[in-house]
């Protein structure tokens, strides 16, 4: 992973229209962004599609990136919105075969649950609840960051998280 100064240099050059610098910036941000999307939408083909759309939107929005703002968090907000849109439009059940078996257990309200089991149950949740649950409980993203990315209030984030957690623990999701 390149250091912060290198990323900052690539960002400045990319904002000026340097395509090579933008490519280097994307390579540096690719793995973290892919992981974020994959945690929400565990299907490689869908993740790649969401990722490409996110990168395109990131490129178009480069000028909006404020001085000193971390490009990963800016790109992550875009990727989360794209993944959420995908979940709203896609009513099919995602392939859970792509989730590795050796992942650690999730602890939800003090109860340990296998990751695959949590994903299976989460698939039945309404899209906003599912998105909030995965971002908050699986990725550990703060309520404020989720609210900003999904364009909802923090209170709404907490409400969706609570409803999702209750449904998952009851096994009724």
Q: At what angle do helices 71-89 and 143-150 cross, to 10 degrees?
A: 60
- Domain holding 24, by residue range, is 1-98
- Number of domains, the chain: 2
Judgement on whether residues 50 and 107 belong to the same structural domain of the protein: no
Judgement on whether residues 89 and 158 belong to the same structural domain of the protein: no
**Whole-structure pTM value:** 0.64
Judgement on whether residues 58 and 86 belong to the same structural domain of the protein: yes
Residue 107 bridge partners (DSSP): 112
Judgement on whether residues 69 and 110 belong to the same structural domain of the protein: no
Domain end call among 45, 63, 98: 98
Q: Let me know: does 111 contact 118? Beta carbons within 8 Å.
A: no
C-alpha 120/C-alpha 127 separation (Å) is: 14
88 pLDDT tier (thresholds 50, 70, 90): confident
What does the pLDDT average to over 140-161?
A: 89
99-141 pLDDT tens trace: 556 666 667 667 777 777 777 778 788 888 888 888 887 777 8
Judgement on whether residues 76 and 122 belong to the same structural domain of the protein: no
C-alpha 11/C-alpha 73 separation (Å) is: 13
Judgement on whether residues 136 and 84 belong to the same structural domain of the protein: no
* CATH value at residue 129: 1.10.10.10
Judgement on whether residues 128 and 46 belong to the same structural domain of the protein: no
């Amino acid at each position: 992973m390149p250091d912060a100064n290198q990323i900052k240099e690539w960002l400045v050059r990319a904002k000026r229209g340097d395509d090579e610098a933008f490519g280097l910036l994307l390579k540096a941000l690719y793995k973290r962004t892919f992981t974020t999307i994959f945690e929400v939408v565990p299907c490689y083909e869908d993740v790649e599609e969401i990722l490409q759309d996110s990168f395109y939107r990131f490129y178009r929005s480069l000028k909006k990136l404020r001085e000193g703002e971390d490009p990963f968090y800016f790109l992550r907000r875009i990727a989360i919105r794209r993944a959420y849109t995908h979940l709203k439009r896609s009513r099919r059940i995602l392939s859970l075969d792509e989730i590795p078996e050796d992942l650690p257990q999730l602890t939800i309200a003090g109860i340990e649950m296998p990751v695959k089991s949590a994903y299976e149950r989460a698939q039945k949740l309404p899209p906003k609840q599912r998105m909030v649950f995965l971002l908050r409980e699986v990725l550990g993203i703060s309520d404020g960051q989720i609210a900003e990315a999904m364009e909802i209030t923090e209170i709404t984030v907490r409400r969706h998280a609570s409803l999702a957690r209750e449904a998952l623990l009851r096994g009724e999701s």
